[in-house]
Structure 1
Amino acid sequence: MKDKKDDKILTLHPQGKKGVNISLHKYEQIKNFILKTIKKKGVITFKELSDIAVKKLTVKFDGKVLWYIVTVKLDLEARNLIERIPNSNPQKIKAK
């Protein structure tokens, strides 16, 4: 019997670049974290999101938290679940 942790998802990229195959379990963990954090904050800088993720997830997450945050954030942008605020510096993101 196949373990659910073996399931994969091919991520998308907002600029149409090639995505990567990652664990569906890890994808869902990071996706839920990003969406909950953005919902709580409204608008958040990418740096703040990354800092919170590293602080809260590093101990219990199996993998490089920051790499997964970047990868899943781009996927969520491509799926129109979140968006970058144009011309924001530092980069800010919000829910769509």
Structure 2
Amino acid sequence: MAELMSEARVACRTPAEGRDGVTNIPTWKFEILRSAILDVLREGEIAFKDLKNLAGAKLNKDELERLGSLGWHVTTVKLELEVRGEVERVPDRMPQVIRLGRAA
């Protein structure tokens, strides 16, 4: 258990106003999902509802098994990427559509 506590982590924030919470996830999870999400978005805008499956298709079987809840982790990393400006929501599109941000 001590090994899990000492594992390097990334603080994932949310862009939503009024929400101060930070979720810390292991760096390796953040990096593989960041890479997968950005790869998917380099192909163009996508509906957020499709992100889990498209990003998951970029991961190998071992990564998927070690990751845990794919949907939860994809959403957590996507929100942090929004805060960083690497991903942005397309304005006035419902359901939510995302694309690469200026910082990507």
The normalised TM-score by structure 1 is 0.83
User: Gapped runs of 5+ residues in structure 2?
Assistant: none
CA contact (8 A) 1:53 1:65 kept: no
- For 1:29, the equivalent position in structure 2 comes to 32
Q: Deviations over 1:4-50 (max 9, x none)?
A: x921111121125311111000000000000011002x101111212
For 1:50 and 1:87, locate their aligned partners in 2 and report how far apart those are by CA, in whole Å. 22
For 1:71 and 1:31, locate their aligned partners in 2 and report how far apart those are by CA, in whole Å. 10
Q: Deviations over 1:47-91 (max 9, x none)?
A: 121222345548332111110000000000011111001221121
User: Gapped runs of 5+ residues in structure 1?
Assistant: none
CA contact (8 A) 2:36 2:59 kept: no
- For 1:11, the equivalent position in structure 2 comes to 12
Cα RMSD of the aligned pairs, angstroms, is 2.0
- Count of residue pairs brought into register by the alignment: 92
Q: Closer, same or farther in 2 for the Cα pair 1:56/1:36, shift >3 Å? A: closer
The sequence identity of aligned pairs, in percent, is: 33
Asked if 1:71 is matched to 2:76, the reply is yes
Q: Closer, same or farther in 2 for the Cα pair 1:58/1:66, shift >3 Å? A: farther
Q: State the SS of the aligned residue for 2:61.
A: coil
The normalised TM-score by structure 2 is 0.78
